[in-house]
């Protein structure tokens, strides 16, 4: 019995994932790709083996599987193609109009393959060649990108030279670094959103937090902001190397292999990161990487949206009691999981550093003031932002109470925004005063276990780049220089084209 190499079902199956990975390579790392890749390979092989048992013919089973995978993977692209304006002027295509002819064509093709007496060896070879050609381009993109990306950490001090010992080895504090994405400063909320946030700020102060009332972000983009704060440095080194690039891969590497993580790990800390739905800003190179049961991130959503699964789930939910796939509901559940489980780490023996990035009150607006679902289009964007912020306030205070109540060690809690909202207009030069104040004025609140009203350790306009410098000096006996507090603007398409902002003149 002849044996034929039938690789094309696997090649066709993994191509959509590789294609998406290749086009998002600066945001997506292998840690986010390997699980869906294994799932795709497993179910492809399982389906192929089932068809092989039914047809008792390897070539027919392989070609049948590949055709089904091709139609499944290409359907949404075909649908989007016929929804282009040039076609909509003639006829508005809907799923119920597209599916019958596609299904009829597929059924006819499958019948011809299954019933044929012709040797399918040449067709199998052709399918193998097509499969190889499909995956070659994204593989070259991914491998080439990772080979040409400069290794190492840019713009940070020599790590080997930073050796230090804690003043009090027996009293190492747990450290929580909580990022609330696009959380505006109190005066910004009052002036631009007509909202008084004093209830939340007073709640923080009652719990012992110091509010840095005039704090600003060092950068106006999340990747830049976190790469700077977690490495306690400005990003001049990255700017000098990547000035004209739009590649955010170096920022992803700076975040995932940050200096704060390394210095704390030397002191015996266990590094813990909660999952984030945003690609490229997760800490995955850690001791504990905690995912919700949903285990969905931005790449998973992107991959799922490239298939007809969400559309099919909404269709069948009309007739049978199944829950449709809803990204909004998934993100809601994930964010609530993060809030509800911040304090779940108290049983770990060693001191811990916990990094949590929450994409709220940043849009999409999925929470009302009491956590209810939001109907878009009913309220203006600013009201939706405030409603979501109010819910975030409630959940944050509850999480803080849980952390302070359950921890057996002293606790440091840092609650910061990466930057402010981006709802105001920005001119091409980035000089719009209203935008700059909204975008850079941030919430910055810090709880130290032994502060006791000692506020002089923080300046009135301290920025995130100095946060861990102050903490390391106070608790670990270092002597970091406190940097001048500066802010830099760069347009989204060119993150490294950084220009200093002078707020006094803006």
Q: What is the pLDDT of residue 289?
A: 79
Residue 444: in which H helix or E strand, if any? strand 444-447
Gap between the Cα atoms of 43 and 403, Å rounded: 41
pTM: 0.82
For 154-200, the DSSP string reads -SS--GGG-----S-GGGPPEEEEEEETTPBPHHHHHHHH----HHH
- Which pLDDT score, from 0 to 100, does residue 426 have? 43
Q: Can you give the three-state secondary structure of 454-502, one letter per residue?
A: CCCCCCCCCCHHHHHHHHHHHHHCCCCCCCCCCCEECCCCCCCCCEECC
Query: How does pLDDT run across 141-169, given as a tens digit for each residue?
Result: 888 877 765 444 444 444 544 555 555 55
Which residues make beta-bridge pairs with 216?
441
**pLDDT in tens for each of the 506 residues of the chain?**
466 789 999 999 999 999 999 888 877 777 778 889 999 999 999 999 999 999 999 999 999 999 999 999 988 888 888 777 777 666 667 888 888 888 899 999 999 999 998 889 999 999 999 999 999 999 998 888 777 654 444 444 445 445 555 555 557 899 999 999 999 999 999 999 999 999 999 999 999 999 999 999 999 999 999 999 999 999 987 777 776 777 888 888 889 889 999 999 999 999 998 877 666 777 878 888 777 655 566 677 778 888 888 787 777 777 777 676 667 777 888 888 888 888 777 677 889 999 999 999 999 899 999 999 988 888 899 999 999 999 999 999 999 999 998 877 899 999 999 999 985 444 444 456 678 889 999 999 999 987 665 556 788 889 999 999 999 998 888 889 899 999 999 988 889 989 999 876 54
Distance CA 65, CA 71 (A): 10
Domain range annotation of the chain = 8-148, 170-294+326-500
Which CATH entry fits the domain spanning 170-294+326-500: 3.60.15.10, 3.90.79.10, 2.40.240.10, 3.40.720.10? 3.40.720.10
Which residue from 227, 476, 175 is spatially nearest to 355, judged by alpha carbons?
175
pLDDT score for 95: 81
For the beta carbon of residue 65, count every other beta carbon within 10 angstroms: 24
Q: Report how far apart, in Å, the C-alpha atoms of 45 and of each of 62, 122, 149 are.
A: 10, 22, 34
* Backbone Cα Rg of the chain: 26
pLDDT at 314: 76
Contacts 24+ apart (CB under 8 A), 107-113: 109/67, 110/64, 110/67, 110/68, 113/60, 113/63, 113/64, 113/67
Give all strands (DSSP E) within 18-169, no chain letters.
Answer: none
């Amino acid at each position: 019995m002849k044996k034929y190499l039938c690789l094309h079902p696997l090649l066709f199956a993994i191509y959509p994932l590789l294609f998406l990975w290749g086009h998002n390579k600066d945001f997506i790392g292998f840690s986010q790709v390997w699980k869906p890749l294994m799932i795709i390979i497993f179910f492809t092989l399982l389906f192929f083996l089932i068809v092989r048992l039914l047809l008792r013919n390897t070539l027919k089973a392989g070609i049948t599987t590949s055709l089904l995978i091709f139609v499944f993977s290409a359907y949404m692209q075909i649908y989007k193609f016929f929804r282009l304006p040039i076609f909509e002027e003639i006829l508005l295509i809907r799923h119920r109009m597209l599916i019958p002819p596609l299904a009829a064509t597929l059924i006819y093709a499958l019948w011809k393959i299954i019933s044929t007496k012709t040797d399918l060896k040449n067709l199998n070879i052709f399918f193998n060649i097509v499969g190889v050609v499909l995956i070659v381009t994204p593989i070259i993109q991914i491998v080439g990108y990772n080979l040409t990306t400069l290794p190492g950490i840019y713009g940070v001090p020599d790590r080997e030279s930073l050796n230090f010992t804690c003043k009090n080895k027996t009293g190492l504090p747990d450290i929580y670094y909580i990022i609330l994405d696009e959380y505006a400063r109190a005066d910004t909320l009052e002036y631009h959103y007509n909202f008084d946030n004093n209830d939340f700020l007073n709640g923080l102060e009652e719990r012992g937090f110091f509010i840095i009332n005039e704090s600003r972000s060092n950068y106006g983009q999340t990747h830049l902001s976190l790469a700077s704060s977690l490495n306690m440095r400005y990003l001049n080194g990255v700017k000098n190397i990547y000035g004209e690039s739009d590649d955010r891969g170096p920022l992803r590497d700076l975040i995932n292999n940050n200096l704060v993580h390394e210095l704390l790990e030397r002191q015996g800390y266990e590094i813990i990161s909660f999952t984030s739905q945003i690609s490229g800003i997760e800490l995955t190179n850690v001791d504990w990487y905690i995912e919700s049961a949903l285990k969905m991130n931005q790449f998973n959503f992107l991959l799922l949206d490239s298939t007809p699964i969400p559309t099919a789930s909404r269709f069948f939910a009309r007739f049978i009691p199944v829950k449709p796939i809803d990204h909004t509901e998934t993100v809601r559940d994930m964010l609530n999981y993060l809030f509800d489980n911040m304090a779940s780490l108290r049983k770990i023996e060693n001191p811990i550093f916990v990094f949590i990035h929450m994409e709220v009150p940043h849009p999409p607006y999925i929470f009302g003031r009491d956590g209810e679902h939001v109907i878009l289009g009913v309220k203006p964007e600013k009201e939706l932002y405030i409603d979501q912020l109010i819910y975030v306030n409630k959940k944050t205070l509850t999480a803080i109470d849980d952390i302070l109540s359950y921890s057996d060690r002293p606790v440091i809690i840092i609650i910061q925004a990466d930057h402010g909202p981006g709802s105001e207009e920005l001119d091409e030069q980035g000089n719009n005063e209203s935008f700059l104040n909204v975008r850079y004025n941030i919430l910055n609140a810090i709880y130290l276990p032994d502060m006791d009203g000692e506020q002089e350790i923080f300046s009135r306009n301290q920025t995130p780049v100095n946060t861990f410098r102050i903490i390391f000096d106070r608790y670990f006996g270092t002597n970091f220089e406190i940097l001048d507090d500066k802010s830099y603007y760069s347009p989204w398409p060119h993150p490294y084209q950084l220009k200093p902002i002078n707020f006094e003149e803006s």
